[in-house]
């Protein structure tokens, strides 16, 4: 499973990229706003750090404007994936932009039917938001499983990009189900290394080494 980091913070991206833990980046207007920088400037810098796809989101509701903005975003760098919402107009924009050879990430997916439509419109990525479904006492991971089944049944090449990841458990469950990509905050990716028994064992090793006077 590929790891995309869901942030616009350059230091976080660089740290994970240096460790080989980043296959791409997802951004959105909210994340860009938190950085306090110009969207084009931030996006171009991120594209220069990572070699994989960098999702940059349009800020429009109608297909015509989405297509216009998508073309501008795609011109920033070759590894831009234009992010459009899963609305009827978003699907129209996806069809046009993907037809022009641009990567398209269709976002805000909450049903298998929506994912099926996005695949037929030529989406490169579909982004089901599992955490937001969990917030409503619905099973976000079940949605990933349903999409995986449908895409495998018909040979769709659209990649499942699990989004709205809230925990390290989400990451492992998405990997078991067969999500192609999971995008998560840097804190969640780093938390995957944590376990209380690892900490406990390391603490004991250090105490035993100190008692034995071991020095290397």
- Which residues carry out catalysis? 83
What are the φ and ψ backbone dihedral angles of 77, each rounded to 5 degrees? -160, 160
Query: How buried is 120 (Cβ within 10 angstroms: 0-12 exposed, 13-18 middle, 19+ buried)?
Result: middle
Give helix then strand counts, H and E, for the chain. 11, 8
Q: Strands (DSSP E) along the chain, which ranges?
A: 2-6, 24-26, 54-57, 80-85, 103-109, 125-128, 159-162, 181-184
The angle subtended at Cα 106 by Cα 121 and Cα 26, nearest 5°, is 145
Sign, CA torsion 58/62/65/67: positive
For 73, other C-beta atoms within 10 Å of its C-beta total 23
Question: 108 phi and psi, to 5 degrees?
Answer: 65, 45
């Amino acid at each position: 499973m590929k790891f995309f980091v869901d942030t616009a913070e350059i230091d976080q991206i660089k740290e994970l990229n240096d460790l080989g833990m980043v296959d791409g980046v997802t951004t959105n207007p909210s994340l860009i706003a938190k950085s306090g920088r110009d969207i084009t400037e931030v996006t171009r810098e991120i594209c220069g750090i990572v070699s994989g796809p960098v999702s940059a989101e349009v800020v429009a509701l109608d297909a015509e404007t989405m297509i216009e903005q998508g073309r501008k975003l795609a011109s920033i760098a070759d590894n831009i994936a234009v992010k459009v919402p899963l609305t009827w107009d978003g699907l129209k924009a996806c069809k046009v932009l993907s037809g022009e050879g641009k990567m398209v990430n269709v976002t805000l997916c909450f049903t298998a039917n929506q994912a099926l439509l996005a695949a037929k419109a030529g989406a490169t990525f579909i982004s089901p938001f599992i955490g937001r479904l969990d917030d409503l006492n619905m099973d976000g991971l079940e949605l990933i499983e349903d999409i995986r089944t449908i895409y495998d049944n018909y040979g769709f090449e659209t990649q499942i990009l699990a989004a709205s990841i809230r925990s390290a458990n989400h990451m492992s469950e998405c990997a078991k189900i067969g999500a192609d990509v999971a995008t998560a905050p840097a804190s969640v990716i780093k938390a995957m290394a944590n376990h209380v028994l690892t900490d406990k064992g390391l603490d004991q090793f250090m105490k035993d080494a100190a008692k034995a006077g071991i020095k290397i």
